[in-house]
Amino acid sequence: MFNFKGMAAAALAIALMSGSALADEWTKIRVGTEGAYKPFNYIDSDGKLQGFDVEIAQALCDEMKAECTFVAQDWDGIIPALLAKKYDVIIASMSITEERMKQVDFTDKYYNTPARFMAKKGGAITDTSPAGLKGKVLGAQSSTTHSSYLEDNYKDSEIKLYATQDEANADLAAGRVDAVLADSVVTLDWLGSDAGSCCEHIGENYNDEKWFGKGAGMAVRKEDTALKDKLNVALKAILENGKYKEINDKYFPFPVY
């Protein structure tokens, strides 16, 4: 006898089972990244994705015994493409912010690079506290966590805001500003160049969560809690077994976790 309802129910059950089985195992994971944020993720001359994010992702996949494929996606569409299931997780130096948490879920942070002041070499400025920088001219890129931090905490300093980090750097080199607050890792490139040879990092690291967020996390769809948990476990494992440190040391002269 042909029982349509029964057939449909059975088909649905099979579909659900296979779906949940796949979700529980996660043996194949597609990783989305940007490929334009050196040294964290970039495309090398052979057209391959490289960088800190990519190597961390690979280490996590090895740890989870999962087969990973990488997808490069423009920054603007990186969350919509995740929601459209073009890949399963974003590992692209994405900061964990309240606004993004409305759309996606984040794993624990996998790195958090602090902000740091840059100033001219020669040690004219050593104290980067608000009292130490009183009356000085400070610079930052506008609309960033760094500019907000300066505005809120350095009220006795003159603050100059620039459209791009490059312009702030140029004015630091020219001596129009005394110190610039920016991401400590992103500015390493400039400090290592000819133009940036005038200057160096000074003072302590700044990573107050109120201004700078919780660091970079991996983003997954809200329903994929199993994948999120798995990634968190694997992250903990590579942090403990030294794999994370190995990758860290390959890219940066200081710990970024």
Binding site for another protein (CB under 8 A): 139, 142-143, 147-148, 151, 160-163, 167, 170-171, 173-176
Instruction: Report the half-sphere exposure of 145 (CA within 13 A, side-chain side).
Output: 20
DSSP secondary structure of 130-146: TTTTTT-EEEEETTSHH
Could you give the CA distance from residue 55 to residue 58 in angstroms, rounded to a whole number? 5
Q: Report, in Å, the least distance between residue 167 CB and another protein.
A: 7
Nearer to another protein, 176 or 222 (CB): 176
Specify the residue, 160 or 228, whose C-beta has the smaller distance to another protein. Answer: 160
Residue 71 or 198: the one with the smaller Cβ distance to another protein is 198
Return the exposure string of 68-97: e unless at least 16 CB atoms fall within 10 Å of the residue's CB, then b.
bebbbbeeeebbebbeeeebbbbbbbbebe
- Measured between alpha carbons, how far is residue 131 from residues 1, 112, 135, 136, 175 in Å? 86, 26, 9, 10, 21
CB of 156 vs another protein, minimal distance in Å? 17
Minimum gap (Å) between residue 170 Cβ and another protein: 6
Nearest approach, Cβ of residue 22 and another protein (Å) = 40
Indicate the residue among 70 and 190 with the shorter CB distance to another protein: 190
Inter-CA distances, 167 with 142, 163, 170, Å: 11, 7, 5
Whichever of 117 and 162 has its CB closer to another protein, that residue is 162
Shortest Å distance, C-beta 142 to another protein: 6
